[in-house]
Amino acid sequence: MSDTRATKSGLAAEAQKKLESSYSKEAEAQVRAWLEEMVGEEIGGDFFAEMKDGTYLCKLLLALEPGIIPNKFTKPAKMTFQQMEAINVFINGCKTYGVSEKDLFVTLDLYERTNPNMVISGIQALGRQAQKKGHDTGNLFPKEADKNLREFSEEQLKQSETVIGLQAGSNKGASQSGMTFGQQRQIH
């Protein structure tokens, strides 16, 4: 987390600890290896410190699809708003590339390290999309499922209206005979 924010307490602190406890170093190592292979530059030291300014991520996106974002975001920036803008450009570029918005992180998740799991998950989602578009990602990312739309005829739809599901009230002959729950105790 960034040093400029107040220390969390109470429920917020518990939620943050839970987020941080579920963080996987293995997933980070896999993502790091893929990033280094795609960009061709080694990521030194702390993963999130290196990603914080957004330039490395922008380089990754340009390596996957040249011209998807402006090249100016591949140069390191010193100003906070420029770094956050680069992260935002990366996120929007991922959406353009085909990554679902629900799979991506928000700028503060990375910049202030509020949700490191979501950052790793977002980069993995980009990797799955890259794999779908023909880039070699090895076996780092599971294959994303394809849509399997089904068409039903009118006859099939009418047949489904006659079926009574077990959750729709049918008890298949079951009764409450022999049940003692809720009855008064019999004292003899």
Structural domain spans, the chain = 10-132
Residue 178 confidence (pLDDT): 65
Which CATH number applies to 10-132?
A: 1.10.418.10
Say whether pTM exceeds 0.75.
no
Is pLDDT above 50 for 2?
Answer: no
pLDDT at residue 174, as a whole number: 64
Task: Please give the Cα distance from 42 to 162 (Å, whole number).
Answer: 63
Query: Using an 8 Å Cβ cutoff, are 119 and 110 in contact?
Result: yes
Percentage of residues in the chain with pLDDT exceeding 90? 32
Q: Report pLDDT for 1.
A: 46
User: At 61, is the pLDDT very low, low, confident or very high (cuts 50, 70, 90)?
Assistant: very high
**Residues 131-144: tens digit of each pLDDT:** 888 887 777 777 77
- Predicted pLDDT at 15: 76
pLDDT of residue 105: 92
Encoded tokens for 43? 């990521």
Buried/exposed 12-25: b ≥16 CB within 10 Å, e otherwise: eeeeeeeeeeeeee
pLDDT for the residue 153: 92
More confident residue, 91 or 177: 91
